[in-house]
Structure 1
Amino acid sequence: MTQLNELIARFGRSADDPKILGALEDLSKIYSLEAEELYIKWEQYAYQKHKQTVDLDLDTLDAFKQSIQQQMEKKASLIGGQPLSASSSAIKKPKALKPNVSSPSLFGFGMPKTPTLKKRRVEPSLTHQEDNSSPVMASADRSETFFTPSHRPENLKSMTSAAASPLLNNPDPGKVVDVLNLANIDPANGIDFDEGKRVKLIPFFEASKFNFRTMRQNLLDTADVLDEQIENFTQVIQQHYNIPANDIGDPSVQSQSEITAVGRIVPDSPIADGILNTESLALETSRLAGIGRRVQLNLGKVKELTLFPGQIVGLRGKNANGECFVVEEILQIPQLNFPVSTGTELQTYNESMENKPMKVVVVKGPYTPSDSLHFSNLASFIERINTDIRPHVLIMFGPFIDITHPLIASGSIPDFPELKNQPKTLDEVFTKVLAPILKQINPAIQVVLIPSTLDSVSNHAAYPQNMLDRKLLQLPKNFKCYTNPSTFQLNETFVGCSNADAFKDTKEIVKGGNTSLKNRFDRIAEHILTQRRFYPLFPGGIKKRKSHDQSGSVPWEHVTGVDLDVPYMGLTEFAGNVNPDVIIIPSELTHFSRVVQNVLFVNPGSFIRSSGVRGTFAQISITSPNLLEGTLTKVEGDEDIYLHNVWKRCRVDIITA
């Protein structure tokens, strides 16, 4: 597919104009952006400036061009006023995408407990790739890698000295850049350290089910899970629409009768090879309904749609010619119910908080710039946490020590002048450098740690991911290490957290009317709720980024994305078969807070952005559940059961770090 066709496929019919297409092509060439990258920047621009979809015309594109130019100039000023070039790209180690895991049961139920692998300490060895790219440390366990000064490449001496780098420039820390429910709710004051009262924190996941061995994925188990997903949604759709069993058919079989088919949206070719469109989609059936066959979809009669790879859908139509399934209607999958509490429980929580609001702060890594392993920015932030912000709960997402950090990927860990005994492993970098900073958090503040698949201190490099080991990391008892994803309860509020970027990885096909007018974040949030999983995409998103070594002469590709442990994907479903009150999914895209289908979605942004500047964090203020104020909805038919209505009594501030 040519670049012009890719631009039309991505930007839609409005781009099928010679002037508009020429302007888009110029932007792509001037700033060396592929069609997908340019489209993502366009959606970010539209949301930041207009909070909604805007018309694609020459005037808007001119303003869009100025916005991109300002971003480029800002990045250039951050690296000493020099223009950005390929040689300034950070050195990163290509990440090998490997299937993981052994055979379990389906969807998290009855999963066998398996022992974790014991760590083996190996002698350090340094190997070079045949293409003379960045040197990579070879080790049996990435958390047990050793580093010595003699192994550091000469061209990285300037980077290793960055351990003593000063604080990143942030002229306006604490500035509120976005607010949800500004007019209705005031920000919470935070915890009173003298009283010592804590929010009740209850996990809603079975930690033992995440304690499985990775890199043991079995194809039959993977097929069982993918098949079970379709069968489960078949039952949901059949019951919701009262469809007789005889009307659920095989879309791949030629028939003149209209049937209802349930299956998975798949591209007719690998996603990495081209741009998706309505002409390149197929429906994958289950083994029970269609022996797992795939059939081409004809979506010409559907006026509005939004589809993505891996989506489970219900379709009405027929396959009259035996070659394609002509879709007449896409059935909406019903939403899950919401969590409820009794009036007595809510009154207890209200009294424990003395009718005061609860404050929750959410921050997401990385916590160091790309040119150093210095945590001074995090240390200054924690000082603000203890003195000014004072949240009841602090939720911290990884990566805490990023395995793809240029210094770690190159095997060039710097010396830390403040330490007498230098760390020899990545685990020791955490315990000797990062842990002392985290321990400065006031013990009255409860801290929740959610790992990332890029965390060097995690034994699981795939999603879903086991929790970190609090004792091994030498953290105090006010720290709670939870799984990725995880669901937990803060007093009456159910919070779902996932550290997999579903918002950026989901590549949609959007067509028509009200669907196309919705903001992209809203559409993907609806997909997450409808598919009932924190990461509904399949296969996992893959992003390739071209980079260079320090000399700028050796290009290579860094592959990022989510490695899925498919046999354990049941662990990524919503706990308790209900929607959480709050869903927190950090994304590389623009920070946001939105209410979708009465669920609060929050993306706090990164603590330190890829450009090297300090980013943002989210501050969530939830008013106490007072039954007398009328903010809670009583469930019909029950005398003492109430919906939490967190989206009505919650304020979210996105604040610069």
Structure 2
Amino acid sequence: MEQQIKSEFNNNGFLLQDEQQILNKCLTMCVQYKLSPTDLVSSWDAFSLNRGLESTVHSGYIDAFLQQLQNEQKDVLEKKEPGLHLYSHDVSMILNDDYEDSKEGILTTPTSKIEKASHEQSDSGLKSNGSIFASAKPLDSVTPFGVRKNRFAVQFTLNKTATSEPMNVESRTQTSEDDIIKRPQPTSRCSLEINKSHLEPGCRFMYDRVEDKFNFLENRIMKHAKALAASGLNEEPMDPTVASQKTVFAVGMICCEEEGRLKEKPIMLQSSVEHSGGQRVRLDLQKVEQFSLFPGQVVGIEGHNPSGHCLIASKIIDHIPLTVSTDGNTRPTKKQATQELQSADLPPATPEISLIVAAGPYTTIDNLFFEPLTELLAYAKRKEPQMLILSGPFIDSEHPEIKKGSINLTYDEMFQREIIGRLQDYVECMGSTVLVILVPSVRDAHHDFVFPQPPFEVYPSEIRHQIHSITNPGTFSANQVNVACCTVDILKQLSAEEISRNATGESKHRLTTIANHLWNQRSFYPLYPPAEAVPVDFSLAAEVLEISSIPDILIIPSDLANFVRVLSVGKINDEEEIKCICVNPGRLARGEGGGFFVELNFKGHADSTTASVIRI
């Protein structure tokens, strides 16, 4: 029959692009819908004429053609039994002879919608063509994401020995028999320790008071002042608002005189209550050769204030030496409360781990089919990383269909079905050694709108040992590799507020400078006042936003240009330089097309780590 189908296509002037794949699908259609090759090709001829397609038959249009055949069969059934109303799910069961078998399952014990959604199997073909989350776009049309070119193209590599190569997932067919016999297995099982915090699912938030905000800002200034004094490189901080001809050292927070940006208003320095009663003084930066400042930044200033109204700065200290903690201890100890969620065999002597890192949205703006997520998981099945790190938004509140409210499930049910359901299939396919880390976002429609954020609740108990959720921001350790994640777009927000000046003849990479502000301020979110779209709860921020130790990998998704960079954090006692890998994976979905993700292999040190930014 395949030869007959091919002959019919050729006789009607059609060329088959992926011949074997198309013939396999067409053969299935003929058997399933009891069509002859002639009838099938005639239906395709009408389908292509109505849509103005070329004479070449692409495999991407076959699924849309299948949807049209289902609609035609539905019309036939309705004519046979007038008054019968059929849903798309019913048509699929009837055409596949599953309708009678399904009747036995109707009178069963009721279950919750969430539990039911979490157990539904994810079918990529149904999701991309017959999904209940259909947009206003006709279902028989092919999405721009589905017909894109240059799939899985490597855009950038860190170190030339990176193993990532362009790969077309669809070029390799896979059957259910392959899933059983050739199931991929990650190289080894990795350990996992997630840092605990007081943020738990269902915790109280947005009860912060003005007192909480005041204490948060005051504590930040005082911690920096004590740390700079404990370093021995500076004098004790003094009141910068007092008139004096002598050079003084002051510590305070950069702020604007009024609402607005630093570029438009005079720059002010607000000192602590202890040193100046919380008063502000204007800063004169004409004598400073280089600086990078933003609202909320805590800095040390050397200068003099001859009139009492303006502090003329001669030097700006925007970082704390690594040998000093913000508590003022000269040799800080890393006391972090951790909860060992998964114990492995003995961890490797050298910290090593393979990761795939991606950030939402996970579906394009023209539909809710979650095609980018499906293809990312297909790529991960072939590359076999030890860990998959996915950061939100998962159910994007900015998606046009979410804004219109055109879906018929709750956001939580949608998350369990579209995200957790696919991830459950992934971990079952990969085996018990693979791990998935989920990081929430303030744009997640199904989660708490607060920053910092508690972790997600993963409902299916059988996958909780493989699929974990952390706070936003959050830190964890896998195979002795420390990883920190924050999904708030702090890079973009700091870029909009920062003002800088470079020394004559010097040029610095702006994104690197902005990322270094996080280390220098020992904070995941040093900006104040926060951006309008970020609902900061200052009663929760004190503990969670502080960076107590430098991680090996920092993941900060942003709308800005994606990158993977090795950042030099500093030296401890003139010894080996401390470095960190900073990763901005970009967005997995961009508009109606695919975006980017990062594949990373950490091998003991930042300089020996390989990574690739891959366009999906």
Higher relative contact order (CA 8 A, sep 6+): 1
Judged with a 3 Å threshold, the aligned counterparts in structure 2 of structure 1 residues 656 and 242 are, in CA distance, closer, same or farther, namely closer
CA 1:164–1:237: 2 relative to 1, 3 Å = farther
Partner of 1:494: 482
Structure 1 residue matching 2:354: 3-state secondary structure: strand
List runs of 5+ in structure 2 lacking aligned partners. Answer: 1-113, 115-132, 166-181, 324-331, 335-342, 569-578
Which structure: larger Rg? 2
1:532 is matched with 522
Q: Secondary structure at the match of 2:246?
A: coil
**Cα–Cα, structure 1 residues 524 and 582, in superposed 2: closer, same or farther, change >3 Å?**
same
Following the alignment from structure 1 to structure 2, what is the Cα–Cα distance between the partners of residues 195 and 301? 57
Where in structure 2 are the equivalents of 1:64-79 lying within 5 Å? none
Q: Say yes or no: does 1:453 pair with 2:449.
A: no
Of 216, 227, 241, 1:236 maps to 227
The yes-or-no answer on 1:223 pairing with 2:214 is yes
The Cα of 1:607 is off from its aligned counterpart by 0.3
For 1:617, the equivalent position in structure 2 comes to 597
State the Cα RMSD in Å: 3.3
In the alignment, what sits opposite 1:285?
Answer: 271
Shift of 1:456: 1.7
> Tell me, what secondary structure is at the counterpart of 2:219?
helix
Amino acid of the residue matched to residue 615 of structure 2? Answer: T
* 2:547 pairs with 1:569: no
Of residues 169-178 and 261-270 in structure 1, the stretch that sits farther from structure 2 once superposed is 169-178
Q: What CA distance in whole angstroms lies between the structure 1 residues aligned with 2:508 and 2:518? A: 15
With over 3 angstroms needed to count, the CA separation of the structure-2 counterparts of 1:578 and 1:424, relative to structure 1, is closer
- CA distance change for structure 1 residues 439 and 505 in 2, over 3 Å: closer, same or farther? same
Matches within 5 A, 1:142-221: 159=136, 161=138, 166=143, 167-183=145-161, 186=163, 193-194=184-185, 197-208=188-199, 212-221=203-212
Contact 2:135-2:368 at 8 Å conserved across structures: no
| Residue in 2 that maps onto 1:334 | 320
Equivalent of 1:364 in 349, 359, 367? 359
Q: Are the equivalent residues in 1 in contact too, given 2:221–2:298 (CA < 8 A)? A: yes
Deviations 1:28-55 (A, max 9, x none): xxxxxxxxxxxxxxxxxxxxxxxxxxxx
CA distance in 2, matches of 1:275, 1:268: 9
Q: 3-state DSSP class of the match of 1:518?
A: coil
Q: What is the 5 A alignment of 1:393-542? A: 393-413=387-407, 423-441=408-426, 442-443=430-431, 444-458=433-447, 460-471=448-459, 476-506=464-494, 507-513=497-503, 517-542=507-532
Q: After the TM superposition, which parts of structure 1 deviate over 4 Å for at least 4 consecutive aligned residues?
A: 160-165, 185-188, 191-196, 207-211, 337-340, 348-357, 472-476
- CA deviation vs aligned residue, 1:176-206 (integer Å, no higher than 9, x gap): 10011225x6569xx9945773111111232
The answer to whether the 8 A contact 1:581-1:600 is kept is: yes
Q: 1:466 to 1:160 in 2, by over 3 A?
A: farther
After superposition, the Cα gap between the structure-2 partners of 1:595 and 1:379, relative to the gap in structure 1 and judged at 3 Å, is same
Distance 1:305 1:356 in 2: 36
SS at match of 1:256: strand
Q: What are the equivalent positions in structure 2 for 1:28-107 lying under 5 Å apart? A: none
Secondary structure, aligned partner of 1:586: coil
- TM-score of the superposed pair, with normalisation by structure 1: 0.61
What secondary structure sits across from 1:412 in the alignment? Answer: coil
Q: TM-score, normalised by structure 2?
A: 0.65
**Structure 1 residue 475: deviation in Å?**
5.4
8 Å contact kept, 2:564–2:581: yes
- Unpaired runs of 5+ residues, structure 1, are 1-142, 144-155, 341-347, 414-422, 543-560, 626-645
CA distance in 1, matches of 2:507, 2:458: 45
Q: Residues of 2 paired with 1:157 and 1:394: CA distance? A: 28
Q: CA deviation at 1:591?
A: 0.5
Is 1:647 matched up with 2:592?
Answer: no
Contact 2:347–2:479 at 8 Å: present in 1 too? no
Which amino acid counterpart does residue 599 of structure 1 have in structure 2?
C
2:242 and 2:201 mapped to 1: Cα distance? Answer: 40
Q: Structure 1 residues 244, 329: closer, same or farther in 2, change over 3 A?
A: closer
Within 2, Cα distance between the matches of 1:473 and 1:160? 37
Secondary structure at the aligned position of 2:211 is classed as: helix
Residues 193, 517 of structure 1: alpha-carbon distance in 2 compared, 3 angstrom cutoff: same
Between the aligned partners of 1:339 and 1:287, the Cα distance in structure 2 is 28
Q: Match of 2:534, as an amino acid? A: V
Secondary structure of 1:648's match?
Answer: strand
Residues 359 and 622, structure 1, Cα contact 8 Å, conserved in 2: yes
Paired AA for residue 480 in structure 1: H
